[in-house]
Structure 1
């Protein structure tokens, strides 16, 4: 088995402010696995605060390349990047693409063996802004066909965020599903105050209201009129601990942060067994990893709107997008394997 890696750098359409600092670009690696006449493509794009560093990702992938010619066993190769989730994601996605191409099946079928899926619903995400700006953005999203909208909250005080939510509900009407994401910004008291107001506006999901490690606090917020979702909490504590603490009604599943589509599929399946809803999202990935996340979502039964409408966050991409968003749904590539082409042209 031959493995090659190729670095890339992509500018964001607009800088993104996060708890870990400002993001202007995404840097990562394409991963190509060749075995005989078959090949597969993956992407390793580390994100500070969620995965290993760029340097650690590069080092892990270089280890994989160095041993591939000596011991090409899948388990050995994956073990070489066990502590580097983005690197493992790139390798695992490339291997999954290779296997799906050999089976002459779309990747989502290789992940689960399910029936044909043509589309996956997606949500629009709206960042912080004034009540008027937020309402206008929500109205534009509905006009573009989205029926699920996720609002970023937690930058302002609770009262200001509740006013933003109220204005959005007025703008979009009662049929649109609203979600909010606090990124762990609130205290328990603030979260309880927020939930009362969010319930009045029929908000369906409150994502990560408290810091990641406070599973007990999240558990006490459940059953208060708004479903509770965990994102950072899942990454920090792990699915077994989250489920054992009864801390979530939903989890946010990021394949890059979890170490690959195989591991993300296991996490999502275990959540479903425990009546916890998995919501698949990206980590501002390029087209290869983003399409892999689309296939992961397509492999899940009754998947809710997912956070996969992120292509427009990038100023440029690695190649053509085989999974565009149309009227609030992302197209699931139906050809063999991942369905991405034109990104490794010599």
Structure 2
């Protein structure tokens, strides 16, 4: 009934993408090409893109697991969501391939975004680098008209990072530009509160993952007393069971969570996180995880169904020299779909 072909693809960054965990120059993804006699003449394409040394399904035999799982799907004609909770990037690829096949369009839901009537507000992402490199990025984003800028911090001296933030604030007030920072777990439980206090003086919107994941008690104490709203990102990775999701949110009580379908349970897992967060008055936004435009479009289509007014993390489509063409474009600080 269904046939799946798996196509490996290597993406190349235009510029090295620096994080506190290292620097990316290439990105390996796998495309699922799904066909079926039920939908003659159509192809459903999904992207499976685990992040090295971060995704819970970043395993040495990933491609073999992908082949095995896809064979099971072709035999049964369905996605076993419970079976795939531990493989969020594969689940996301299959979910979106099926949606593409069934809709016959890269616009998976009927929204103002998919009709080309509205853009999704996004943040301008500043990658880690030396002071001069980061300053150049900041000036480019400000000139482009971004109203929300997110800086990756934790790689250079903290005083230099504060200087960059002061530079932005000296030109734009909190009412003109929203500032977010992402520490990727770079701070320690011993020094984090002092750093949060200094960052809070700059009227920041939030900080992502100030200490490394897995320190629930420390993170809970931090979230309860922080002068700066905390958003969890890496903390959500590997928390795939609904009961564990509830337990994490109940214990830490962050101000925000950040959802990346390839890392945090695909579309179905994302809905679970959002439902549990909203029950607890925890804010959230959606971010891509360095997928190509195939995955980015799928995430944006899903994101548009919520109407979340916060700037989303969907500005990664222009990172690669050999990206896949999709009807997406950034205009000022919004991502638009061109139907």
TM-score interval, normalised by the smaller of the two chains: 0.7 to 0.9
1:283 Cα offset (Å): 1.6
Match of 1:311 among 291, 307, 317: 317
Separation in structure 1 between the aligned mates of residue 319 and residue 256 of structure 2, nearest angstrom: 25
Return the alpha-carbon distance in structure 1 between the equivalents of residues 306 and 14 of structure 2.
31
CA distance in 1, matches of 2:152, 2:260: 18
1:289 to 2:306 alignment: no
- Paired position in structure 2 for 1:255: 261
2:153/2:182 contact within 8 Å kept: yes
The answer to whether structure 1 residue 329 and structure 2 residue 330 are counterparts is no
Q: Report matched runs for 1:204-243 at 5 Å.
A: 204-222=205-223, 223-237=225-239, 239-243=245-249
CA distance in 1, matches of 2:234, 2:180: 16
Return the alpha-carbon distance in structure 2 between the equivalents of residues 60 and 80 of structure 1.
Answer: 12
Q: Contact (CA 8 Å) 2:89, 2:266: kept in 1 or not?
A: yes
- The DSSP-based 3-state class of the residue aligned with 2:75 is coil
Tell me the secondary structure at the aligned position of residue 282 of structure 1.
coil
Q: 1:331 to 1:40 in 2, by over 3 A?
A: same
Deviation at 1:244, TM superposition (A): 1.1
Q: Could you give the per-residue CA deviations for residues 35-87 of structure 1, whole angstroms, max 9, x where no partner exists? A: 32254220112211232337533122211343344321333xx5564432222
In the other structure, the counterpart of 2:159 is: 159
In structure 2, relative to structure 1, the CA distance for the partners of 1:171 and 1:321 (3 Å cut) is farther
| SS of aligned partner of 1:325 | strand
The offset of 1:258, in angstroms, is 2.0
Shift of 1:325: 1.1
Question: TM-score, normalized by length of structure 2?
Answer: 0.86
1:194 deviates by 1.7
CA distance in 2, matches of 1:125, 1:115: 26
2:49 maps to 45
Q: Show the counterpart of 1:92.
A: 95
**RMSD across aligned positions (CA):** 2.7
| Secondary structure at the counterpart of residue 106 of structure 1 | coil
- How far, CA to CA, are the matches of 1:82 and 1:192 in structure 2? 34
Query: Please, which of 68, 72, 93 is the counterpart of residue 67 of structure 1?
Result: 72
TM-score normalised to the size of structure 1? 0.84
Aligned mates of 1:59, 1:303 — CA distance in 2: 40
Q: Is the 8 A contact 2:19 2:155 kept in 1?
A: no
- Long gaps (5+) in structure 2: none
CA deviation after TM superposition for structure 1 residue 198, in Å: 1.7
Task: Give 5+ residue unaligned stretches, structure 1.
Answer: 336-346
Distance 1:169 1:33, change over 3 A: same
Alpha-carbon distance, 1:246 to partner: 3.3
Report the alpha carbon displacement of residue 327 of structure 1 after superposing the two structures with TM.
0.8
**1:1-20: per-residue Cα shift (whole Å, max 9, x none)?**
22222121121112234455
Partner SS for 1:107: coil
